[in-house]
Amino acid sequence: MSIARLGYRVALIDADIGLRNLDLLLGLENRVLYTAMDIVEGQCRLDQALIRDKRWKNLALLAISKNRQKYNVTRKNMQNLIDSVKELGFQFVLIDCPAGIDVGFINAIASAQEAVIVTTPEITAIRDADRVAGLLEANGIYNVKLLVNRVRPDMIQKNDMMSVRDVQEMLGIPLLGAIPEDTSVIISTNKGEPLVLNKKLTLSGIAFENAARRLIGKQDYFIDLTSPQKGMFQKLQEFFLGEE
């Protein structure tokens, strides 16, 4: 959503076949009439399966499937699908991969040129992220960035949680951003309204905007999650909300 708001055409591919949820996060669950499987089977066109966001028309969602048959979307299907989406003029195609490292994941990354690994500052999650990083490299994806989610600065200060730097050093992956723990995320998820659309951005909303800008090469500094200066915080809010 942040990238779309910057004026780019963005396509979201929900490749989590059995457990899709991007439609819920965007409040589009009632608009999914066709999926990528319908395209593959010749039952509809790509433009019929692509669902435009209600608020930002340059953001579109494509669900892969409504069922749990993980093996009916082949690697070649995914490559053809992504190529077709790019031909429609989308500048960014974001593929939400399924959990795990089985054939569903391998097929989902078939057309990817770069990857963002999202993890949390927990040892189990970091181990999984490390395994995924190895798989990405084995499949020829070397441009990988790290997004550390659900960061608790108060716990880090008490040495009860690994710092973002600790996580980044353990994985050896360039840092894209860090998202602080925020109850607003739960509220926005339940409403089906992306956090970054709130009129008054919380620190996590600003962190998402910051990460999006870094991803497309628009920004080269990080948000200080521990003690953001009030002036800078307000300045960033005004900048992202267009109240200059």
Q: What would the pLDDT profile of 159-202 be if each residue is shown by its tens digit?
A: 999 999 999 999 999 999 999 999 999 999 999 999 999 989 99
Q: Which residues contact 129 (CB under 8 A, 6 or more apart)?
A: 117, 119, 146, 171
Q: How much is the average pLDDT of 115-125?
A: 97
**Residue 68, pLDDT score:** 52
pLDDT in tens, 42-86: 999 999 999 999 999 999 999 988 755 555 678 998 999 999 999
Alpha carbons 14 and 27: distance in angstroms, whole number: 14
**Residue 241, pLDDT score:** 45
